[in-house]
Amino acid sequence: MSPIAAHRASPAMWSPQPPPPRLQLRRPAGTPLHSSRRLSRIAASQEDPLTALTRVLWGRALPPSQLVLAVRHGWTSAWRLLMRQLAPSDPATGAFTRTPSRFPAVAQPAPVPGARLHLYVGLPCPWAHRALLVRALLGLGPRLPVSVAVPGDDGAWSFTPESPDALYGSRRLRDVYAARRGGYEGRASVPMLWDADRREVVCNESIEIAKFLCTLVDDGAGGLDLWPPEHREEIDRWYGVIYPSVNNGVYRCGFAQSQAAYDAAAGELFDALDMLEDHLSGSRYLCAGAGVTLADVCLFTTLIRFDLVYNPLFRCSRRKLVEYPSLHAYMREIYQLPGAAETCDMAAIADGYFGTLFPLNPGGILPVVPASCSREALMKPHGREAMPSVAAAAADGRQLGAAASVVG
């Protein structure tokens, strides 16, 4: 008989088995009985285990100073490590240094008329908002389809069933970048203008995308010209003020890794806002002799986020935008332009900053949207219709001279 058959035939297999020995939790020698009782209370407690454990370790008092110091040191070290990757800084000063775009200019030869172009944006991003707003103001929606990426848990731009990649059905924006001829391994940023015919990135620098979109406008665009040839030099001069001090200035505040770097950035930011408040108290728009231009678009996408995000999260706290009467009314006027409000998703903006920028908001708690940022408040009459849109050339020159001194 084989061993297996013998085992199966064994009567011991069918006889009743003795009950298993009863497990007993034994208290190690020297352990006070009240500690065991405390552990039992943890198991029976309705509190989360971590909170209950802290009560056992140090009661209702503050954590031991050594633990506080250790956690503080560990968190600070981890924060610096994350910030070096998410927001590179100057090692000597701690000042935020923005990573240059990999595709800063429109690819040459430029896409031909009728090319299958596709715009990739993210609603929280002010740089992507520029391209989205230009598309809306110029009525380019029917000619330029758009896909909206959302920030994933790791901060990378991704697509969801609710917000898909309408062109390829990709899961991540980096997959679209990688589909270009020659591939791609860098940071996948928005906005990104894609040429579907050539499977190539046209550009991923926001101001250059905005300028290129202005060239797509034909006579049927309603007469709005955001980049008129006669004002291009002036637009560029204003942009030379707005970008370093305001657009990037808020990030230099929020991502500063030293007190000196923060103080310098905050001082420059609010000096620029004070200057802009003074200018816009006497001129309807930034450029003398023009209506809304790309300079106004670029300023607007920072202003619309200021009280919601930059003031509380990025420590741009000297004043709120609502405390600048002219700037706030100017921002409301642009918000009320046809198609502009639909590009401003305040819930997505709040979630994109407070929910994604873990090093700045580790709890991930979303704040209450300020009353001044509600649609009802933003749609209130701005009263700027009677303001001169044409400022005296000498006065405008003085404003730009003062602006240059702010960033110089």
pLDDT tens readout for residues 175-199: 999 999 989 998 999 999 999 999 9
- Residue 347 predicted with pLDDT over 70: yes
Q: Give the pLDDT confidence score for residue 395 in this predicted structure.
A: 47
Q: Mapped to the 3 state alphabet, what secondary structure does 123-139 carry? A: CCCHHHHHHHHHHHHCC
Neighbouring CB atoms inside 10 A of 141's CB total 11
What the block records as the tokens of 225 is 């010209």
Question: pTM for the complete prediction?
Answer: 0.81
- In terms of CATH architecture, what is 229-393? Up-down Bundle (1.20)
Yes or no: say if 353 and 362 are a contact pair by the CB < 8 Å rule.
Answer: no
Confidence (pLDDT) at 404 = 52
Please, where in the chain does CATH 1.20.1050.10 lie? 229-393
The CA-atom distances, in angstroms, between 124 and each of 91, 92, 285, 346 are 28, 31, 25, 8
Give exposure, 304-319, as e/b (b: 16+ Cβ within 10 Å). Answer: bbbbbbbbbbbbbeeb
* Residue 31 clears pLDDT 50, i.e. is over it: no
Which architecture does CATH list for 117-215? Answer: 3-Layer(aba) Sandwich (3.40)
Assess whether pLDDT exceeds 60 at residue 408: no
Report the pLDDT value the prediction gives residue 96, as an integer from 0 to 100: 85
| Phi, psi dihedrals of residue 121, rounded to the nearest 5° | -135, 170
CA separation for the pair 267, 373 (Å, rounded): 24
Q: What one-character DSSP code corresponds to residue 233?
A: H
CB proximity list for 157: less than 8 A, separation 6 or greater = 120, 122, 149, 150, 151, 172, 173, 174, 188, 189, 190
Nearest residue to 301 (alpha-carbon basis) of 239, 390, 227: 239
Average pLDDT over every residue of 5-29: 48
Cis peptide preceding 191, ω within 30 of 0: yes
Q: Give strand pairing partners of 370.
A: none
Whose CA is closest to 251, among 314, 164, 322, 301? Answer: 314
Report the C-alpha gap between 143 and 132 in whole angstroms: 13
For 166, list phi and psi in degrees, rounded to 5.
-70, -15
DSSP state of 362: T
The reply to whether 251 belongs to the active site is yes
DSSP of 164-216:
--TTT--SBHHHHHHTSTT---S---S-EEEETTTTEEEE--HHHHHHHHHTT
Beta bridge partners of 192: 120
Task: Please give the angle made by the CA atoms of 151, 156 and 157, to the nearest 5 degrees.
Answer: 55
Annotated catalytic residue, options 120, 177, 239, 251: 251
Check residue 47 and give its pLDDT: 66
Q: Please check the confidence at residue 339 and state whether its pLDDT lies above 90.
A: yes
Residue 313 confidence (pLDDT) above 90: yes
**Per-residue pLDDT reduced to its tens digit, 44-58:** 556 677 777 777 777
* 217 or 324, which is more confident: 324
> What are the pLDDT digits (tens) for 220-276?
445 689 999 999 999 999 999 999 999 999 999 999 999 999 999 999 999 999 999
Q: For residues 170 and 194, what is the distance between their CA atoms, to the nearest angstrom?
A: 14
The pLDDT of residue 140 is 95
Q: Give me the mean pLDDT over the 314-328 stretch.
A: 98
pLDDT at 83: 64
The pLDDT value recorded for residue 288 is: 84
Tokens of 367: 């704040």
- Report the C-alpha gap between 120 and 183 in whole angstroms: 18
Residues of the chain with CATH 3.40.30.10: 117-215
Q: Is the pLDDT of residue 7 over 50?
A: no
Whole-number average pLDDT of the chain:
85
Contacting residues for 111 by C-beta, under 8 A, at least 6 apart: 117, 195, 197, 198, 202
Position 391 scores a pLDDT of: 46
Across 387-407, average pLDDT: 54
pLDDT at 394 over 50: no
Residue 98 amino acid letter: R
Is 324 in the active site?
A: no
